[in-house]
């Protein structure tokens, strides 16, 4: 009886929503014929109304089945039309561009109407996924704002702000709840059905997500289609086995888990389909969700989930802090309350979630953002609120998707944008992802044994690199049973090749400098960070003309608005094969951090590698326990988790060519060099230099 009642309620709600949708679209259609809004706002509203009517047509074509008969060219035209307004060549006159919006609509209304335009663009994804309520509430907000502009005088900023603020607050339960459900509920299978039910040889399937599709996705999918099934299966096996091994090595029970979150870039469906079959053999069903469309769920410009090509990275960057429009204490309490309620509703599914399995890509043209003063940005008080909200949100998530019981894996592959040698680079990457774990385990153990005899590690740059940093190591009470460093081969973090630790903050001092590095899809030029007792004391870069612009850029995108961050990880990358590939094809600047961190020593700012898992014993294959799981900040979790965690962990790598010296220092004058002038010199590690033989001789210090 209850199932019948639920079905009737669903039908009633859906019919009601369809009625609201029809009325809203009818009103928007009328806008195109009216001239009741004064200039310059009339152009804005007609432009946005035209976009929404375009999405109405797309929805009808999808629901009627008309789109099923589209040719590839017709799908391409539809896809281009949906994103045309924000593409780089048109962005100068797009209302999504806050600079243009302010220029044409004025300082008072330009920013908030650009925000509204950006929020309404999420309708594209909602149309393809069939999320009718999300579509309807956005249409109704647009109409509400339009109706006010029909009246005289032109509305004050605060009037429009209140409409937007209460929309975001009132519908947080819709947007946040659905986002959380999609992250844990395999019944939300929109993307899974595309992958498992489509003919992947027919590239029209790529357009069924509603994501922006370019030649990159088409060529990637075509290339994977050209590979024999054995190669596809081998790629999937490496990926899924890494996930399984992560549970085994950490002593976590995979059999308790029900789902795995697969994150990927469009074009890799053939590999993902094979991976889904592998995971199902482990008893795991896939949850695959799109990156956040609503500002309520976004985290700056990062896309967490599946995605196509970013139509315009500058557009995403300009709106990375749109939450500045509504972020206050009341909203923070509202959003956290909705999170708790949603996780409580889906607590069984959340508890059965195993964590993410991520397929990253690399090869895209590096993006150097432009700073726009017209873009919304958090003030100092809001930055503090954002830190608080993110910390508490992480604690809520960890309560339901229990940190000490979940794991992850990450693997990366190139995409055609990397250049004409894409096929060769792809195959080289596959080889790197499947290097001999045994060889690296043996060599890395030699490095660890040497490191464990010291109390500090000293790192010096060479050439233009100004690094001069001393990293403190935790004391070992029983060196026969304890170690500071994890011997990391290819499990959760593919490919093989690093030893890492959570350093002691006290005694960690100096300067970390890299001439050029890409972090979270942003380029940093001459990045320099000064550490004092393990905490960031100063930071700068050379991206912009003024020091203030550079510091603001770093605080927002590297420190995530924290006043400081600890050095959460120190590691030595040993994958010289990956480094040699980067040099051979001149793609070092395009490597993802996943691979780049294996090509030199790297330093992560933020949380430790063991955040939320510090109390779980971890052992190396030699049986020694890794005791460096905490630092002086993370240990505060025992008193107040809000003071211990930062919700970020960003790796910064010094490539071998910029490394002059990496040595271990200990008591009584103990000193051992591990790397000098970009080459491994420690006895028992020289085999790592074999991959570097064909490279140019290293520069002199």
What pLDDT digit, counting tens, does each position of 395-413 carry?
A: 999 999 998 899 999 999 9
pLDDT tier at 365, thresholds 50, 70, 90 = confident
Number of alpha helices (DSSP H) and beta strands (DSSP E) in the chain: 23, 19
Alpha-carbon span 115 to 138, nearest angstrom? 13
How far is residue 685 from each of residues 139, 225, 245, 322, 574, measured CA to CA in Å? 63, 40, 26, 50, 9
Alpha-carbon span 189 to 347, nearest angstrom? 19
Alpha-carbon span 659 to 678, nearest angstrom? 5
How far is residue 595 from each of residues 22, 91, 199, measured CA to CA in Å? 50, 33, 32
Whether the pLDDT of residue 699 is over 50: the answer is no
Whether the pLDDT of residue 394 is over 70: the answer is yes
Once rounded to an integer, what is the mean pLDDT over residues 580-598?
90
Query: Contact at 8 Å (CB) between 627 and 474?
Result: yes
What pLDDT digit, counting tens, does each position of 542-560 carry?
A: 999 999 999 999 999 999 9
Whether the pLDDT of residue 1 is over 60: the answer is no
The two structure tokens encoding residue 120: 């309404």
What pLDDT digit, counting tens, does each position of 429-439 carry?
A: 999 998 988 99
pTM across the whole model: 0.90
What pLDDT digit, counting tens, does each position of 85-140 carry?
A: 999 999 999 999 999 999 999 999 999 999 999 999 999 999 999 999 999 999 99
**Whole-number pLDDT of residue 14:** 78
Whether the pLDDT of residue 701 is over 70: the answer is no
What pLDDT digit, counting tens, does each position of 468-507 carry?
A: 999 999 999 999 999 999 998 877 889 999 999 999 999 9
Alpha-carbon span 693 to 691, nearest angstrom? 6
Alpha-carbon span 659 to 512, nearest angstrom? 11
**Whole-number pLDDT of residue 4:** 40
Q: How much of the chain is in helix, strand and coil states, percent to nearest 5? A: 50, 15, 35
**Whole-number pLDDT of residue 700:** 45
Whether the pLDDT of residue 12 is over 70: the answer is no
**Whole-number pLDDT of residue 257:** 98
**Whole-number pLDDT of residue 23:** 98
3-class DSSP assignment, residue 571: strand
**Whole-number pLDDT of residue 443:** 96
| φ, ψ dihedrals at 130, nearest 5° | 75, 30
Q: Where are the domains of the chain?
A: 2-170, 182-409, 479-658
DSSP class of 646: -
Whether the pLDDT of residue 466 is over 70: the answer is yes
Once rounded to an integer, what is the mean pLDDT over residues 235-260?
94
Whether the pLDDT of residue 203 is over 70: the answer is yes
Alpha-carbon span 668 to 541, nearest angstrom? 38
CB neighbour list of residue 96: distance below 8 Å, 6 or more residues apart:
85, 86, 114, 117, 118, 121, 315, 318, 319
CB atoms near residue 661 (< 10 Å): 19
Q: Residue 468's closest CA among 419, 509, 439?
A: 509
How far is residue 326 from each of residues 165, 214, 305, 560, measured CA to CA in Å? 6, 34, 25, 18
Alpha-carbon span 500 to 126, nearest angstrom? 42
**Whole-number pLDDT of residue 696:** 54
Q: How are beta strands 522-532 and 567-573 bridged, if at all?
A: unpaired
Beta-ladder partners of 573: 498
Beta-ladder partners of 12: none
Would you give the distance in Å from CA 615 to the centre of its chain? 26
Interior/surface letters 469-498, b for 16+ CB within 10 angstroms, e for the rest:
bebbbbebeeeeebbbbbbbbbbbbbbbbb
């Amino acid at each position: 009886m209850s199932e019948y009642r639920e079905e009737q309620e669903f039908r009633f709600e859906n019919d009601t929503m369809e009625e609201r949708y029809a009325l809203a679209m009818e009103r928007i259609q009328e806008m195109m014929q009216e001239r009741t809004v004064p200039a310059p706002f009339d152009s804005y509203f007609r432009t946005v109304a035209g976009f929404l009517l375009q999405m109405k047509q797309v929805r009808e074509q999808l629901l009627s089945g008309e789109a099923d008969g589209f040719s590839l060219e017709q799908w391409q035209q539809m896809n281009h039309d949906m994103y045309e307004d924000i593409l780089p060549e048109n962005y100068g006159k797009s209302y999504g561009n806050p600079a243009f919006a302010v220029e044409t609509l004025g300082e008072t209304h330009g920013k908030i109407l650009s925000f509204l335009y950006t929020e309404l663009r999420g309708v594209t994804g909602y149309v393809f996924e069939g999320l009718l309520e999300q579509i309807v509430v956005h249409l109704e907000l647009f109409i509400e704002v339009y109706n006010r502009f029909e009246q005289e005088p032109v509305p004050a900023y605060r009037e429009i702000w209140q409409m937007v603020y209460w929309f975001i607050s009132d519908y947080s339960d819709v947007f946040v709840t659905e986002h959380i459900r999609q992250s844990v509920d395999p019944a939300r299978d929109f993307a899974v059905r595309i992958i498992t039910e489509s003919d992947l040889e027919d590239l029209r399937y790529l357009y069924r997500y509603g994501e922006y599709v370019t030649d990159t996705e088409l060529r990637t999918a075509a290339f994977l289609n050209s590979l024999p099934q054995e190669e596809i299966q081998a790629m999937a096996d490496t990926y899924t086995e890494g996930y399984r091994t992560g549970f085994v090595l950490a002593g976590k029970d995979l059999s308790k888990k029900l789902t795995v979150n697969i994150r990927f870039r469009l074009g890799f469906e053939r590999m993902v389909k094979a991976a889904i079959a592998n995971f199902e053999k482990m008893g795991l069903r896939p949850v695959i969700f799109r990156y956040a469309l609503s500002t309520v769920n976004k985290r700056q410009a990062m896309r967490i989930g599946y995605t196509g090509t970013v139509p315009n990275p500058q557009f995403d960057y300009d709106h990375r802090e749109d939450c500045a429009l509504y972020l206050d204490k009341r909203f923070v309490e509202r959003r956290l309350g909705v999170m708790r309620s949603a996780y409580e509703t889906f607590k069984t599914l959340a508890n059965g979630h195993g964590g993410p399995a991520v397929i990253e890509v690399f090869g895209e043209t590096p993006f150097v953002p432009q700073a726009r003063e017209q873009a919304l940005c958090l003030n100092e008080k809001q930055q503090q609120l954002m830190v608080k909200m993110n910390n508490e949100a992480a604690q809520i998530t960890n309560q339901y998707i229990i940190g000490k019981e979940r794991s992850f894996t990450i693997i990366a592959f190139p995409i055609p944008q990397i250049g004409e040698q894409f096929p060769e680079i792809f195959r080289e990457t596959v080889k790197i992802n499947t290097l001999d774990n045994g060889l690296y385990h043996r060599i890395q153990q030699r490095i660890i044994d040497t490191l464990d005899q010291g109390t500090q590690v000293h790192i010096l740059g060479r050439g233009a690199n100004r690094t001069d940093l001393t990293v403190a190591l935790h004391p070992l009470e029983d060196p026969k049973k304890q170690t500071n460093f994890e011997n990391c081969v290819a499990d959760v973090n593919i490919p093989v090749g690093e030893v890492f630790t959570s350093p002691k903050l006290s005694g960690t001092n100096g300067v970390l400098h890299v001439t050029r590095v890409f972090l979270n899809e942003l380029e940093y030029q001459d990045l320099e960070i000064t550490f004092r007792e393990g905490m960031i004391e100063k930071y700068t870069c050379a991206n912009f003309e003024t020091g203030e612009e550079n510091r603001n850029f770093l605080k927002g995108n590297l420190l995530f608005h924290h006043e400081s961050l600890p050095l959460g990880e120190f590691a030595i990358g040993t994958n010289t094969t990956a480094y040699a590939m980067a040099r051979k094809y001149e793609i070092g600047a395009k490597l993802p951090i996943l691979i780049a961190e294996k090509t030199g020593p790297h330093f992560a700012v933020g949380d430790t590698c063991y955040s939320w898992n510090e109390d779980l014993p971890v052992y190396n294959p030699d049986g020694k326990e890794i005791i460096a799981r905490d630092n002086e900040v993370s240990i505060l979790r025992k008193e107040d988790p809000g003071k211990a965690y930062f919700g970020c962990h960003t790796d910064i790598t010094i490539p071998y060519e910029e490394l002059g010296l990496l040595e271990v220092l200990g008591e009584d004058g103990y000193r051992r060099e591990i790397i000098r002038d970009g080459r491994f010199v420690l006895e028992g590690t020289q085999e790592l230099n074999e991959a570097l033989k064909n490279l140019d001789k290293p520069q002199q210090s």
